[in-house]
Structure 1
Amino acid sequence: MEVSALRAREHTEGVTLADTPSSEGFVGRADELDELASALASARAGRGRAVLVIGEAGVGKTRLAQQACALAGDFLVLTGACLPLSSMSVPLLPLRSAVGVLPEEQRPAMRRAADAESAEDFDQWLEDRCARGPVALVVDDLQWSDPATLDVLMWVLAGLTTRSLALVVTVRREEVSPGHPLQRWLADVRRLPGFVELPLGPLDLEETRAQLTSVLGDVPHDALTRDVYSRTGGNSYLNRLLVQGLSPTETALGPGLPEDLAAAVLRAWHQLDSPARDLAQVLAVYGRVAGGSALDRVAGLAHVTDLRSALRHCLAANLLEADGRGGYWFHHPLQAQALAGSLGGLDRAHLHAAFAAALEDDLATAAARDTGESAEWTLEAVSLVADHHDRAGHAHQAYDAGLRAADLAREIGATSTQVRLLARALELRRQLGPGGAGPTTALWERLRLAAEAVGDFEEELRAVEALLGGLDERRDPLRLAELVIRRQHLRFLTGRGFLDPAEMRRAVRLTRCDAESWQHAFALAELTHATLWQDDPASHDLGAAALASARASANPRALAHALAANAMLAVHEGRSAEGVRLGREAVEAAATARDGFAFVHAALWEANSVDGPISPAWRTMVGRRWAELAELGAPHPLLAWLASNEAFGHLHAGDLEACARRLRVALGSTPGTLADVQTRLTAAWMAAIQGRIHEAEGHLARADELFAETSNFLAFDFDAVRAMVLLSGGHPREALDAAMKGTTTPGTPPTLCEWLLPLAARALADLAQQERDTGGDPTRWLAELDVITARFPDTIRDVGGATDLYEHQLTGLGAMYHAEASRARRAGDAHLLWARAATALREILPWEASYSSWRQAEALLASGHAGRDEAVGAMRRSYAMARRLGAQPLVDELDALARATHVQLAEPATGVPAPATARKAGLTTRETEILGHIVAGRTYGEIAKALVVSEKTVSSHVSHLLSKTGCANRVDLARWATRT
């Protein structure tokens, strides 16, 4: 699409073309502009796109985004930039800045605290704006983003493709090193639909010449162009900085000119007068957008008496720019870094100390005069004090200020900020050395509690490990046992491993010193939980002891875990009604104790007591518990854990729209490792059956990155999902290995174990067919199939009680297993097994039922015309289900089979007479069938092909129909059928 085609009418409200940056000085980048133009055109058509523009600092990422948006004149363009804040995080800063250009009444409500409601509010506001016209949201320098902004953008990206939105984000490649917080976010979004990455390299020599022409006002001397190009390597930003103030007739940059970015920035800075240089240098050390009193403070420390004049010079030199809210910051943040680095270490330390002292004076004045400053302002100021003391080398003062800021964060409910501040304080405490600021145990405990409240399980696990290292088993065995169990929960939640019965036994041993304590009941409950996953027969007695001990302790936390473990035990022993009761009590106790882990565990086993995840009752119950957990204010990772389980149920029940909605909820913020893996596996299966193989492989790869364990982590379905994705991608050999890995892993079968053998047999059938298609001998695959079917005569049954629904599921999947084996062997009974599978699965596993009906029709048609009517019926049933599920690979297979066998896949239209009316009119079964085709508007030839008869036979039947009904022609006949 031509870029010029993107020019259209100006937007009727908000930002117009006149408000967007000028294209002056923009050169080259034709291919990249075309890419962005394509994304904007797609967004205009209602198919949202996201583009990650990534490259080194100064290469022109921001200018490219500005230029593309300027050309798309009918877009509402919202632009915000992230800032390199170090000691604090301002939630949603770039988004607040982006919407700041709008009239106040048109802006979304931007909460101070970043949470799921903030994400939903902004997303809904964006949805409403996109409904009124296309929107381009540009977020610059995402590598400095706060976590809340990343969460909101993830939420927006999850629903991107259905709205008129173009999201453009820029990232500095060199700043996103391994381990950078943005790496995980990028790994997640790169696999989302509608997301593309646009790498931006440097300008070439001729593009550099064109840029310098624009900047200098005339074509530069060739020697100057080559000199600039040799120094910058075509970096657009450095090009511009290097030639500021030069004449186009000069032949070189001159002796002593810098060869790197820092030197180039200093050269531009040297063009300013002394007050402007001092102002810029001190502002660089301040490290924040400065406006109002903060700017006055910077000017005072720089000894600038005429602030307005100094600012004017900095703006004219393109060193500073206004941020649109009364503050000023550097045109490019690297300028600030270079200027701060240009100062000697002592000078920098002196300035940081001065800023810390000035901010402390501000805080003291505000407290003494009761100026009414907000708690958020106080928190920001104290955080800045900590930051400047740290940079000044005042470790003790930085530590004290950091703790004070953490206290303030706790008081105003900024728990995420509190976690970051406490983690930083602990690092400062480590630098102080032994005895430098008192014991750290209390600080680790504060971090643990804050991390637990916000769902930061990684930080909580770090705190728990530290606390465990400082506890004496003889002095505090109960506390030690509690932390041992919590460590197991956190290892589970962070994907480090499954519950370890040995560690739970250790907790039980530690608590025997006080058998009446709630910790002892807690330990018994979690030992029951761990051993149940191992199918240990001792679990029954352990569960009874745990429940009795918990009831005696009257502790809601211990009771919640004991009840949940016993609900799980009831399901395993087939006591469904008791399991529901115990699960319900466990949820109530967990809510009282505000124990999120126990709540989710209890909610899932309460639902499991009712039926399996494909049951509507199961999904309704889990959905209701999710709403209750959200009402309790649980952190997102726990909500995502429930949402990912609900999505799993919706997927296999065939409600893929509901599945996608719950997946979006789970991925709408940081879900935590456990929920992230579960979500990715479900998303991979859904993408595979719908034919989005690259997306499926991406989700599976992300799950592998997050979690090292696979088959032995019983709550995950890695093996089945991997086999399904590999089969869908045309890799049956690898799929066979994946499926068999799950069947042969020692211990309790993994989740989706029932699918493993059908998938393995399907892989072998495909391999055998490949051999036959290429003239090979399938004997080796058939021999392997014989070994598997001899070892596993039926599909694998999971542990636990069996409901009617589960038995139907096993019957159907077992029939699929044997039908795939018959397909591999080309046995004559394959169509019967496929029919049995389709019948058993039709109401419970729609995709598997559709697949089975397709294979049934294929087997019938391959055997000749004897079962043609049955085959056509199976094809039509499969086709209808496949289209409803969006299962494009199945649709394509059925279309191909229909073309090859001359079958009309569309069902005859409704309107044929009821059987009683047809009999009254004297119509035969065949005449009624032909009448249905006539009502559907088909020709004689189409009817003949569908029924495998001659056109003459069809014509004869139609003549009889006209005679029996008294109709004059086919049109009258169709009307008669509709009326009757």
Structure 2
Amino acid sequence: MTPQGTSPLFVGRDAELGVLLDHARAARTEGSAMLLLSGDAGVGKSRLLAEYAARTGNTRVLAGGCLELGVEGLPFAPFVAVLRQLLRESGRDLFDALAADGEQELARLLPELGQAPGDRYEARGRLFEQVLRALQETAEPDGLTVIIEDLHWADSATRDLLVFLVRNLDTPGVQLLVSYRADDIHRGHQLRRLLPELERLPTVAQLELTPLSREDAALQAAAIRGAELHPDEVDALYGRSAGNPLFVESLAAHTQLIGSLVPDRPRELLLSSLERLGDTERSIVKAAAVGAVSSDHIEHEMLAHVIDLPDHELDAALLAIVDSNVLRVEGTGYRFRHSLLREAVHQDLLPGQHARLHLRYAEALDTRPELVPADRIASEQAHHFHAAHELPRALSAAWWAAVRAGEALAFAEELRMAERVIELWDRVPDSARRVEGVSLAEVLYRAAGAAHDSGDPARAKELCDAGLAEFPADTAETAGTAGEPSPSPADGSAHDDAVLRALHLRLRGRSRIQLADDDGIDDYWAALDVHPIDNWRYGFLLAIIARELMMRGGTVPAGKLSPQALGDDPANTAAAPADERAITVADLARAALRHAAASGDRCAEADAHITLGTLYGNDGRFDAAVAAFGEGVDIARAAHEPALELRGISNKSAFLREIGRLDEAVDAADLGLARAHQSNLHRTMSTFVMLNKAEALRDRGELAAARDAVANGLSWAKPPLWRSFMHVVDGTIALAQGDLATAETVLGHIRHLGTLRFAHLQHAICSATFAIDAHRVFGDTASAIDIARSVSDASFEAGSALSYGWPLLQSAAQALHAHRAAEGFDAAADLHDRISALVDRIPVHCAVQGAWRSSVRATLLNAEAAPADDAHAAWGAAVQEWAATGLSLQRADAQLGAAAAAAAAGDRHSAAPLLRAAAHAAKESGAEPLERRVTDLARRTGIALDATPASAPPGPPAGLTPRETEVLRLLSRGRTNAEIAGELFISAKTASVHVSNILGKLGLANRGAAAAHARELGLD
């Protein structure tokens, strides 16, 4: 029997149903895919999915819905429902097989599978991988459809898992159908950022569900009433419902649509369905609205426990409610006809009713916890106690919800619940007792860690500030100085407080650095001062500091480390005591290795090896660098620490690019991106991997692909430091492409964030290189010179070890040349002398660095107006060195310089092949400015870049030779004979002869008339 008010006829959706069926066939045969089903509330998304599920050719259909409660700490709700359905229908053999080679990560979501593993964060990748494999194996051999409803309510963890699945379902068989309310996606909604990211993926399709037509709405209403409507009634029905099926259902239940008091507003229209019910029935519906937090569903046993009516009265009332189509029977419970109806009922509750009903549900979970799945108890109790204003129990429930979310690796949900505990702490007596003796400082640290892990370093810093304020001002005085022994474990709470304070400082320092606050390293040193040296985390703190100092290109400040902190290594102390000699970053990294080995901290060990790999590469010890990177990555992988593994892969990719092994660099970056997606760390770790790939693609001359890589990286990057670095790389590519608007925008970013002053050398040097180039291109050579002057010699030298300093030197030399061309060849002599000295002093460790050095030297000769033969020889040497590298645009730029020098030296025969090679590389790369410069030089030297008739340029004006045409073009710009001679690589006498011939052939009186005629011809 069809419930009253429900259409027994599925109307107006044949086309959409066909799309879903076709999508299923394609997912089954061609490759797993996702379809986003959007539409306004009540438009029929759930009905369409239900009808489709009954007709799909896939053998299995699993479904789950996002909960409105998802904003309050219940993570992964739809996937928990999907996995629980799979466990119920198929048994646990599949789940046991998934954990055969490691931990049962799915126990984090399904407690019935056993004890959840203890570690977190890096384990998130393993959890997501097991969900992926569960779906892939279930899909064999006949396909699987997974339906996720109400994505607009999804928690952060659900969104992350969904993105992971759609990016990693790489075998046929799985169809993901995901619905969301389009009218709920307001400006600040989380989906506003996620949806464009999903829609760009080739495996994601979209389907928008629109309202019914007038004819289909009439058919639906007629099916509900059992009789056709009069045309006037159809007009009234459609006018009020606008074709929304839910409102059509509600209106069709009224026997008179014309001349009756039918509610106009949607909320009142939905609530009107309760008017036919008695007081008992309405009270049951209100109770159900409070308890139906799981996809508008409530179990019968839970509802019965809260209502507390005799069974026969409850059954009679529920039968009336179901017959009125307010609730529908679903499994062993009931579901509201539509979530809008449940929302309307819930919003109609009086404050007292609201609080009392929530309290009943919270207490029911205390006395009858078996009424809901174990994974939901903590979050539902937190929700109900908080809504009931029972603050002491709300605090306790929120704490356990935070712990549960952390165990499930749902960091944003953990943060929300931990912040609720913080909010309630001072309002509840004896708060610590209610959270098993945990202090407020510990709660704040948990919240800060969750904020950081969810990608919000600004909030993490704020929470660490609050946490550090919980410690007495003299806490630091009880700790050791400069890494000397601190309170031992025997000191009990003092030792624990010292560790907790150090952890707060360490996390705050990391967050500040991500927020582009260079002084964040001060927190690291402060943490080292208070951190007990015998605590197992000490080695990792040393490794973090070594990593940060490596990025800054400096050494350990005097007095920061004691011999005990360094591990009393004889190699370090033989020459001089630790407080009298310079301690290198490599010393610090090796000290971290020793502490890590003593404590068994594999994370610290992996991190220190990776840092040493970069340091060895900077020193030219390439084999040692490769070995150190390999050691660090292997340790991280064996320890199941994908974040550290990705750091090693990313750093190795950067190292390979810096020494010119571009193909290997791209391959390493692709491996890192694949691991990031497999580990669900793409939002936190993919940014720099993508940055390394973009730089390698740029160096290979693949500018469009590099730009795409930057765009992807920017879509993931959140902290300002990461975003600013991506913008700088984007700016360098934009300049190469001739996109001056983007370049100007990036200059604005640099000014706003002050990246030229960043302590991270790589970032500061890349920013300076871009800014110098941009100002030169914009014609502001004075600003370019000022920026070059502002870079210290130490930064130039340290940066050159990273292979970033050489491009900076070349940019400075090019700016010097352009500035002197405008201001005279004695301008900026100080900068010229500095660059010359640095070029002679800085060591060269690889072919790429050697090629950069040759280009800088040749550019300086141009800036000096050196003899043509000297410049010719220098640029020829640069071309030879660049030929041994894969940096195509740098090679083309050198070829252009060599061609100009050859032409100036009278060797046009050598210039022609150089220009043609440069033109080919520029065109292939899409480097339009370089291509224009090549074309301009070819025109001025009379060299044909392509002699085929099809591509020959338009002929010169009647009567003029090509050379005379070039002279006429320069006349239009007001050039003197001497200037014309210099630009066209001819003598002044020859230029004078050309001018006379032009005036005679064109019948012009003087040079001014010739210039005007040239502009008429478009030669200016």
Which TM-score band (shorter chain)?
0.5 to 0.7
Q: Distance in 2 between matches of 1:293 and 1:702?
A: 39
Within a 5 Å distance, the mapping from 1:648-797 to structure 2 comes to: 648=654, 653-655=662-664, 656-667=666-677, 671=681, 675=685, 677-679=687-689, 681-682=691-692, 685=695, 689=702, 691-692=704-705, 695-696=708-709, 698-699=711-712, 701-702=714-715, 706-707=719-720, 716=725, 718-725=727-734, 727-728=736-737, 730-731=739-740, 734=744, 737=747, 745-746=756-757, 750-751=761-762, 783=822, 791=831
- Tell me, yes or no, if the aligned pair for 2:144 and 2:173 is still in contact at 8 Å: yes
Give the corresponding residue for 1:140. 149
Aligned pair 1:282/2:278, yes or no? no
Once the two structures are TM-superposed, the CA of residue 138 in structure 1 deviates from its matched residue by 3.8
Aligned pair 1:333/2:339, yes or no? yes
Taking structure 1 as reference, are residues 678 and 313 closer, same or farther at Cα in structure 2, changes over 3 Å only? farther
- Tell me, yes or no, if the aligned pair for 1:151 and 1:668 is still in contact at 8 Å: no
Question: Which deviations, in whole Å up to 9, do the C-alpha atoms of 1:328-379 show, x marking residues without a partner?
Answer: 433432322222233332223222222233222225xx8xxxxxx9xx9556
Q: Distance in 2 between matches of 1:470 and 1:415?
A: 23
Once the two structures are TM-superposed, the CA of residue 298 in structure 1 deviates from its matched residue by 0.6
Taking structure 1 as reference, are residues 258 and 866 closer, same or farther at Cα in structure 2, changes over 3 Å only? same
* 1:628 maps to which of 619, 627, 635: 635
> TM-score scaled by structure 2?
0.63
* 1:391 maps to which of 372, 387, 394: 387
Once the two structures are TM-superposed, the CA of residue 174 in structure 1 deviates from its matched residue by 5.2
Once the two structures are TM-superposed, the CA of residue 610 in structure 1 deviates from its matched residue by 2.7
Once the two structures are TM-superposed, the CA of residue 685 in structure 1 deviates from its matched residue by 4.9
Q: Distance in 1 between matches of 2:9 and 2:154?
A: 27
Taking structure 1 as reference, are residues 350 and 97 closer, same or farther at Cα in structure 2, changes over 3 Å only? same
> TM-score scaled by structure 1?
0.65
Q: Distance in 2 between matches of 1:192 and 1:175?
A: 23
Aligned-pair Cα RMSD in Å: 6.3
Give the corresponding residue for 1:466. 466
Give the corresponding residue for 1:953. none
- Tell me, yes or no, if the aligned pair for 2:156 and 2:412 is still in contact at 8 Å: no
Equivalent position SS for 1:85: helix
Equivalent position SS for 1:171: strand
Once the two structures are TM-superposed, the CA of residue 427 in structure 1 deviates from its matched residue by 2.6
Once the two structures are TM-superposed, the CA of residue 608 in structure 1 deviates from its matched residue by 1.1
Equivalent position SS for 1:691: helix
Which residue identity lines up with residue 67 of structure 2 in the other structure?
A: L
Query: Percent of aligned positions with the same letter in both sequences?
Result: 20
Taking structure 1 as reference, are residues 408 and 173 closer, same or farther at Cα in structure 2, changes over 3 Å only? closer
Once the two structures are TM-superposed, the CA of residue 442 in structure 1 deviates from its matched residue by 0.2
Within a 5 Å distance, the mapping from 1:892-931 to structure 2 comes to: 901=946
Q: Distance in 1 between matches of 2:74 and 2:824?
A: 58
Taking structure 1 as reference, are residues 242 and 828 closer, same or farther at Cα in structure 2, changes over 3 Å only? farther
Give the corresponding residue for 2:511. 491
Q: Distance in 2 between matches of 1:684 and 1:223?
A: 64
- Tell me, yes or no, if the aligned pair for 2:444 and 2:467 is still in contact at 8 Å: no
Within a 5 Å distance, the mapping from 1:137-216 to structure 2 comes to: 137-159=146-168, 167-173=176-182, 175-177=184-186, 185-186=194-195, 189=198, 212=221
Q: Distance in 1 between matches of 2:446 and 2:877?
A: 55
Within a 5 Å distance, the mapping from 1:262-341 to structure 2 comes to: 262-271=267-276, 277-289=282-294, 294-302=299-307, 303=309, 305=312, 318-321=325-328, 326-341=332-347
Taking structure 1 as reference, are residues 330 and 35 closer, same or farther at Cα in structure 2, changes over 3 Å only? same
Q: Distance in 2 between matches of 1:736 and 1:853?
A: 26
* 2:396 maps to which of 397, 400, 406: 400
Within a 5 Å distance, the mapping from 1:827-906 to structure 2 comes to: 840=881, 901=946
Give the corresponding residue for 1:951. none
Taking structure 1 as reference, are residues 418 and 765 closer, same or farther at Cα in structure 2, changes over 3 Å only? closer
Equivalent pairs, count: 822
Give the corresponding residue for 2:66. 82
Question: Which deviations, in whole Å up to 9, do the C-alpha atoms of 1:727-778 show, x marking residues without a partner?
Answer: 447337538948997999246574267767886798799889xxxxxxxxx9
Which residue identity lines up with residue 384 of structure 1 in the other structure?
A: E
Taking structure 1 as reference, are residues 606 and 244 closer, same or farther at Cα in structure 2, changes over 3 Å only? farther
Give the corresponding residue for 1:349. 355
Which residue identity lines up with residue 122 of structure 1 in the other structure?
A: V
* 2:247 maps to which of 239, 247, 252: 239
- Tell me, yes or no, if the aligned pair for 2:217 and 2:248 is still in contact at 8 Å: no
Taking structure 1 as reference, are residues 489 and 660 closer, same or farther at Cα in structure 2, changes over 3 Å only? same
Which residue identity lines up with residue 473 of structure 2 in the other structure?
A: E
Once the two structures are TM-superposed, the CA of residue 113 in structure 1 deviates from its matched residue by 1.7
Equivalent position SS for 1:611: helix
Which residue identity lines up with residue 41 of structure 2 in the other structure?
A: A
Which residue identity lines up with residue 264 of structure 1 in the other structure?
A: L
Once the two structures are TM-superposed, the CA of residue 146 in structure 1 deviates from its matched residue by 4.0
- Tell me, yes or no, if the aligned pair for 1:567 and 1:583 is still in contact at 8 Å: no
Q: Distance in 1 between matches of 2:269 and 2:820?
A: 68
Give the corresponding residue for 1:111. 106
Instruction: Give ranges in structure 2 of 5+ residues lacking alignment.
Output: 1-6, 99-104, 110-123, 480-497, 780-816, 936-943, 949-1020
Q: Distance in 1 between matches of 2:646 and 2:413?
A: 21
Q: Distance in 1 between matches of 2:374 and 2:755?
A: 60
Taking structure 1 as reference, are residues 524 and 68 closer, same or farther at Cα in structure 2, changes over 3 Å only? closer
- Tell me, yes or no, if the aligned pair for 2:359 and 2:388 is still in contact at 8 Å: yes
Q: Distance in 2 between matches of 1:158 and 1:765?
A: 42
Q: Distance in 1 between matches of 2:54 and 2:202?
A: 25
- Tell me, yes or no, if the aligned pair for 2:448 and 2:460 is still in contact at 8 Å: yes
Which residue identity lines up with residue 244 of structure 2 in the other structure?
A: S
* 2:558 maps to which of 541, 551, 575: 541
Give the corresponding residue for 2:847. 808
Taking structure 1 as reference, are residues 640 and 256 closer, same or farther at Cα in structure 2, changes over 3 Å only? farther
